[in-house]
Structure 1
Amino acid sequence: MGIDTVADERLASRLAELRLERGWTLEELARRAEVSRSTLSRVERAEVSPTAALLGRLCAVYGRTMSRLLAEVEPAPARLVRAADQAVWRDEETGFVRRAVSPPHGSLRAEVIEGRLPAGADIAYDRPSVPGLEHHLWLTAGGLELTVDGEPQLLAAGDCLRFVAESTRFRCPGPEEARYVLVVVAP
């Protein structure tokens, strides 16, 4: 599982709540997210931890950033977020590690995320979690091919890419992992 067993169970419960709040069946959610009903059922029962790509699809359907969704299953963050208290989530399928350095909170519109993508990992998001979401990605180590709306950009350590996108693809060509800081600003 991803974060830890208790957090996975809270995430599964929150995903089920979001679906029920909208009055959707699993079939309706499956159609909207373009994910199989059986996969969604297993995720909502915490039998499996969702991949980053699946969470991205669900966030898009629910109109939330991934950080906001993950923050909804964690206790409300304090003003000071100590390193030891920053939520870390791992996609077991790709090895992607995501740290919520400054998670969503109250009326603040920005959040800061640290991402680590191992060499060879490739994650595609076919739709934005929130339309109009502003991104500032600063690559701190390694190399990263970031495709924004079909236009690939090869980033080297120190480069910053700013964008609002409909689709994105993160690919680490290697040989070392890509490490980056991502600032996300809600519209």
Structure 2
Amino acid sequence: MREVHEIERRLAARLAELRAARGWSLDDLAAKTAISRSTLSRIERNEISPTAGLLGRLGVAYERTTSQLLAEVEAESPELLRAGDQPVWRDESTGFTRRMVSPPQAGLRAELVEARLAPGADIRYDEPAVPGLEQHLWMLDGTLELTIGSTKHVLRTGDCLRFRLWDRTHFHNPGVLSARYALTLVRP
């Protein structure tokens, strides 16, 4: 649990650094993300942990995927990342868990993530953090309703959906069991 708190502390500091590097005030960032100034301030002071949705909106503002934001605050990754050492991030409020399976490396474009959505979980992203991001979503267990723009896909165990992300997305687990999937992200 200590590692989780350390990652959250470093994430808060990194988000404050990114804003400062752009010369944005909290009001500027609030206008870009539709996140209240007070919430942004509390995130940067590590008083609260951002939800998956908030982290997604911050990623859009900073032109980074959620994985990239999280990778920037983790220790330098080796080429081999053992299962027990793979960083896990949880959004308790939405029932979303994200495990960074592949070690993030500067200069490489692809990453592999394992995600879990609790039964009934519902996450929306208004726009992609990186427009044109290629994604391959492979359902490992359960059912996932993924809406990209206005197109809804119902994915079940073993299904794989390949797409480029240009529009808003909505992830929903309509089942009574967790939905678990592997997601490969390839930056343009």
> Are positions 1:126 and 2:126 aligned together?
yes
Structure 1: gaps spanning 5 or more residues: none
- Residue 146 of structure 1 corresponds to which residue in structure 2? 146
Given that residues 113 and 183 in structure 2 are in contact (C-alpha distance below 8 angstroms), is that contact kept between their aligned partners in structure 1?
yes
Look up the match of 1:182.
Answer: 183
Where 2:74 maps in the other structure, the secondary structure is coil
Partner of 1:57: 57
Q: Which residue of 2 aligns with 1:111?
A: 111
C-alpha separation in 2, matches of 1:172 and 1:103: 27
Match of 1:13? Answer: 13
Q: How many residues align?
A: 187
Q: Give how far 1:106 is off.
A: 1.9
Q: Is the 8 A contact 2:78 2:103 kept in 1?
A: no
Counterpart CA distance in 2 for 1:90 and 1:145 is 20
Superposed CA offset, 1:120-169 (max 9, x none): 00000111011111110000100000001121111110001111122111
Superposition pairs of residues 159-178 of structure 1, within 5 angstroms: 159-165=159-165, 166-178=167-179
CA deviations over 1:15-40 (Å, ceiling 9, x no partner)? 00000000000000000011100000
User: Partner letter of residue 56 of structure 1?
Assistant: G
Q: Secondary structure at the match of 1:175?
A: coil
4+ residue segments displaced more than 4 Å: none
Matched residue SS, 1:131 = coil
Q: Which residue of 1 aligns with 2:99?
A: 99
TM-score normalized by the length of structure 2: 0.96
> CA contact under 8 A between 1:110 and 1:184: conserved in structure 2?
yes
SS of residue in 2 equivalent to 1:94 = coil
**What SS does the corresponding residue of 1:155 show, helix, strand or coil?**
strand
Which amino acid in structure 1 is aligned with residue 62 of structure 2? Y
Question: How far apart are 1:108 and its partner, in Å?
Answer: 1.1
Identity of aligned residues (%): 58
Gaps of 5+ in 2: none
Say what the alpha-carbon RMSD is for the aligned residues. Answer: 1.4
Please tell me whether residue 79 in structure 1 is matched to residue 66 in structure 2. no
